[in-house]
Amino acid sequence: MADIFSGLEKLGLGNIDGGNLFEDPNKKESNVKKEEPKKKLTLINEEDYLFDKKYKCPICDSDFTVKTVRTGKVRMKSVDVDLRPDYSEVDLTKYDIIACPECGYAALGRYFTTLTKYQIDDIRAKICMNYKKQEFKDPIYSYDHAKSLYQLALANAVVKKAKNSEKAYICLKTAWVIRGETQRLDQSEADYEKKKKENDAQEVELLKNALNGFVMARQSEDFPIAGMDSTTLDYLIAALAYETDQFDIATKMISELLTSRTANSRIKDKARALKDLVAAKKQG
């Protein structure tokens, strides 16, 4: 877990400890086969697909803007096995975190304003009081900056005791950001293999955390979970289990989907394709 929060020291949040990131709902309170490396994608005009969107921070009431993608202008090339959309012009996942530059509050868009009074108090005490303001004036987000925003969002989620599904979703999307960075590495660089190996290891660790969190969320939370219905979440759990070589979980979830009376034909088709990938990966 230490790696997930590595680097938060520069924001003044080195005291954030993920510990057991996900809370076991049963506790009483008192690897994916990688595609061949793609050629480096140079996003010469990435800023042309962005605009500044205004927000008001629910923690400190500051007005601020964040870089946001003009979704109508980008084209989706494909969807990865774990439902990550891959776009031609810009990596949308880099821009999914909303972060207040004044106080350090950060979250995925769907969770940004849904806070209780107690969560606000905890964030003010444990994030805002220690946060070191960072100046960011670049026209686009680098992958390093995007990863730091996801780290900040996960730290906030831990502090506010967010649902397991929210923390799992942040882990999943952080893994997607790292995958996007890996796809855009320059294969001609001397340290390409070293950087790719490091990224692949980080991605798998994050996918494992996402899997654990979603499994726990499925046991204790009401649907929709992270915007997903039950069959979509079951497919995602199966896909994450496949990517992290947990074949028993993948096989069980695929079997449930294929015999489900509620799963639609699209999900069942994806489950059949995933079943073939699991079989091939187990053999080779």
Q: Determine the pLDDT at residue 98.
A: 98
Domain positions in the chain: 2-13+33-228
Written as tens digits, the pLDDT of the chain (284 aa) is 546 767 777 777 777 766 677 777 766 554 444 555 555 545 458 999 999 999 999 999 999 999 999 988 899 999 999 999 999 899 999 999 999 999 999 999 999 999 999 999 999 999 999 999 988 889 999 999 999 999 999 999 999 999 999 999 999 999 999 999 999 999 999 999 999 999 999 999 999 999 999 999 999 999 999 999 999 999 999 999 999 999 999 999 999 999 999 999 999 999 999 999 999 999 97
| pTM of the complete model | 0.86
Q: Determine the pLDDT at residue 35.
A: 55
DSSP 187-253: TTSTTHHHHHHHHHHHHHHHHHHHHHHHHHHHHH-PSSBTTB-HHHHHHHHHHHHHHTT-HHHHHHH
Q: Determine the pLDDT at residue 3.
A: 66
Q: Determine the pLDDT at residue 41.
A: 47
Q: Determine the pLDDT at residue 76.
A: 93
